[in-house]
Chains A and B, each alone.
Chain A
Amino acid sequence: MIVTRMRPVRDGWDTGWGEFDRMRHDMLRWADAVNRGLFGEPGFRIFPLVNVSHDDDNFYVRAELPGVTASELQLSATGRKLSIGGKRELPEESAKVSYHRKEREGGSFSRSIELPADFDRDKIDARYENGILTVTLPRSEATKPRQIPVKAS
């Protein structure tokens, strides 16, 4: 499993999620320390990092997946769940090189995300660009917000 993730150096302006992110980060670090302590293994961390958002028509799931071959990504949807799986393979360098740093990791990964409402599984669109996977899941008709006109009597 891939365990490396990007480490934020400092926070920029506060978008309101800053404090939440920091808390989450601290909790993950704590969980990491506990895992190490209990199992003596490199700690559990999340890969890939995922953002989920929505607008009136779609749900959007975006994942940071640098250096992954698009055709080797496996996406599947069951019920309200979207699963992203695959393998990140790091190209083998010639045996003659000597490494100064080796921070990137390869391996298989999988994550599943439960969306808050139903989506149309037949019309899911997935794109991969600059190392970011964007999955667009159209909301099913019943869960789309609808304007309700108010009649004056």
Chain B
Amino acid sequence: MANEKTHEIQKTEGGTQVELEQTKAGPVYVPAVDIFEDESAITLVADMPGVSPNDLRIDLHEGVLTLTGQSNATQGEAETDIFREYRPGQFCRQFSLSDRIDQNKIEAGMTDGVLRLVLPKAEAQKPRQIKVKTK
């Protein structure tokens, strides 16, 4: 590896290692997420402050869900820092999904820097009652 610093190894839920190479300079943050599931869908809620809906990318490919969001500097050019606790950067996180997801029905909404992603399960994956017949 030429430059260790430009590489980031991120562990996905399934335990497989995915190597991500960032094309943009700047810090990369791991957004805090809530993930919950009911019979029909998996819902993911992620905190991504400073990311506008246009700067967010959601990618689902071969069972790996990738969230990438760029938070842009709101600071003007002429400003001088007095103190700084956060920096604009990229939010990035990957998850591997075990259930089959109905890709056409994925819904994503972004309000106040919080992403809410609803991943409906494909019909075949929904639990089905199997009736046992007695003779």
| Residue pair A52, B81 in contact (C-beta under 8 Å) | yes
- Residues on A with C-beta less than 8 A from B31 are 6
Q: How far is the CA of A50 from the CA of B38 in the complex (A)?
A: 36
Q: How far is the CA of A115 from the CA of B82 in the complex (A)?
A: 9
Q: A131 and B50 in contact (CB under 8 A), knowing A51-B81, A62-B75?
A: yes
Most B Cβ at <10 Å: residue of A15, A24, A103 = A103
| Residue pair A101, B35 in contact (C-beta under 8 Å) | yes
Q: A9 and B29 in contact (CB under 8 A), knowing A116-B82, A130-B51?
A: yes
Most A Cβ at <10 Å: residue of B29, B38, B114 = B114
- Residues on B with C-beta less than 8 A from A7 are 29-30
Tell me if B132 is interfacial: C-beta within 8 Å of chain A. no
| Residue pair A66, B34 in contact (C-beta under 8 Å) | no
Interface size class of A (residues with CB under 8 A): 35 or more
| Residue pair B112, A130 in contact (C-beta under 8 Å) | yes
- Residues on B with C-beta less than 8 A from A115 are 82
Partner of A12 from B10, B26, B47, B83 at Cβ < 8 Å? B26
Interface set, chain B 79-105, CB cutoff 8 A to A: 79-87, 89, 91-92
- Residues on B with C-beta less than 8 A from A129 are 74
Q: How far is the CA of A66 from the CA of B27 in the complex (A)?
A: 19
Using a CB–CB distance below 8 Å, which chain A residues touch chain B?
4, 6-13, 15, 17, 21, 24, 46, 49-56, 59-60, 62, 64-70, 90, 93-94, 96-105, 115-116, 128-132, 134
